[in-house]
Amino acid sequence: MSNTEFDKSGGIGLLGYVSPMDTRDSYAVTDPVYGIDGLRNVATVNELNTIPFERRRAGMIVGVGGGENYYKLKNISNWIYDISDWDELNLKQNYSDKEIPVGPIDGVNTKFELLYSPQNGSDHLYLNGMLQESGEGTDYTVKGNIVTFGLAPEHGDRIRCSYRYKNL
């Protein structure tokens, strides 16, 4: 019985490949034919356009700049090998937690400003620690980065808002 580091790990040795892998593959692809070694990255957006037809598959996702941005190849009949062949994916989420909206709390003012515009349905607004309901005919609405209360908060009330946003 051998006493290698592999043996100590409790792994099972297999003769052969479990899945195809070739780290010499320089194309950025994820697909059933050329998806060797999974998701790939290219250094610049311009390099997306150098991926040849044989390597392209509609829906493939490619990281650019070490994963700073991701692009998905469109499902169209004729690619023209420029950026219009690709849709940029916004996979990054920005959060604002317990932000204090800007505006006077005086029993009269109903409009308050947030630093960013919340993504639809991501806002959670609290008045004196109580979660408020959003939407027309409820406690408040959000349009852009403006929160409008149905009833003006009273002097001394505390308002906090947590949400997701895109920093464009």
For 63-90, the pLDDT digits (tens) are: 888 777 888 889 888 999 999 999 988 7
Contact criterion met (CB below 8 Å) for 109 and 152: yes
Report whether 121 contacts 142 (CB < 8 A): no
Q: By percentage, how much of the chain surpasses pLDDT 90?
A: 43
Instruction: Give the bridge partners for 70, in sequence order.
Output: 63, 89
More confident residue, 63 or 162: 162
Specify the pLDDT at position 28: 45
Mean pLDDT rounded to a whole number for the chain: 80
Confirm if 111 and 147 have CB atoms less than 8 A apart: yes
72: Cβ contacts below 8 Å, ≥ 6 apart: 59, 60, 61, 86, 87, 89
Q: Is the pLDDT of residue 112 over 90?
A: yes
The C-alpha atoms of residue 163 and residue 14 are separated, in whole angstroms, by 49
Looking at residue 167, its pLDDT comes to 64
Provide the CA 28 distance to its chain's centre, in angstroms: 20
Question: How far is 101 from 36, CA to CA, in rounded Å?
Answer: 49
pLDDT, average across residues 86-97? 84
Reading the block at residue 8, the tokens are 């100590």
Per-residue pLDDT, 4:
52
Q: What is the pLDDT of residues 36-60, one digit of tens each?
A: 444 567 888 898 888 888 778 788 8
Residue 73: exposed, middle, or buried by beta-carbon count in 10 A (0-12, 13-18, 19+)? buried
Of 64 and 99, which is predicted with more confidence?
A: 99
Is pLDDT at 121 greater than 60 in this prediction?
yes
